[in-house]
Amino acid sequence: DGGITQSPKYLFRKEGQNVTLSCEQNLNHDAMYWYRQDPGQGLRLIYYSQIVNDFQKGDIAEGYSVSREKKESFPLTVTSAQKNPTAFYLCASSMASGGYNEQFFGPGTRLTVL
């Protein structure tokens, strides 16, 4: 089955700890994205990558880091510098980022900082 997988589904972390969220896709998509969703808010872009070994900051990149070593994988690390990390994190991919390409979303990871 083609699709996007994210793990874990739920994640709890103590303040001051870094945590890495996994995102894998087997759709052969070039572009991948990370969004954050807070209650009553729209999706906000954290980072995106148009191609392997390249990525750019989105609108709210502070306190986050990413890597894109393989086309299929785009992990997101939430660092201790992120002041308010409790949120629902969504990963997405699209064929390219050159327009007219709908993004397909993974099931999300709900991160709670205790």
Partner 1 sequence: EDKVVQSPLSLVVHEGDTVTLNCSYEVTNFRSLLWYKQEKKAPTFLFMLTSSGIEKKSGRLSSILDKKELFSILNITATQTGDSAVYLCAVEALRMSGGSNYKLTFGKGTLLTVNP
Report the nearest approach of partner 1 to the CB of residue 32 (Å). 13
Report the nearest approach of partner 1 to the CB of residue 102 (Å). 5
**With respect to partner 1, which residue has the nearer C-beta, 82 or 94?**
94
User: Between β-strands 31-37 and 54-57, what pairing exists: parallel, antiparallel or unpaired?
Assistant: unpaired
**With respect to partner 1, which residue has the nearer C-beta, 13 or 44?**
44
Report the nearest approach of partner 1 to the CB of residue 72 (Å). 18
Contact residues: partner 1, CB under 8 A: 4, 35, 40-45, 48, 50, 58, 90, 97-100, 102-108
Question: In terms of C-beta distances under 8 Å and separation of at least 24 residues, what long-range contacts does 57-60 make, across chains too?
Answer: 58/33, 58/34, 60/36
Q: Is 46 exposed, middle or buried (0-12, 13-18, 19+ CB in 10 A)?
A: buried
Contacts of 84 (CB under 8 A, 6+ apart): none
Report the nearest approach of partner 1 to the CB of residue 16 (Å). 28
**With respect to partner 1, which residue has the nearer C-beta, 47 or 113?**
47
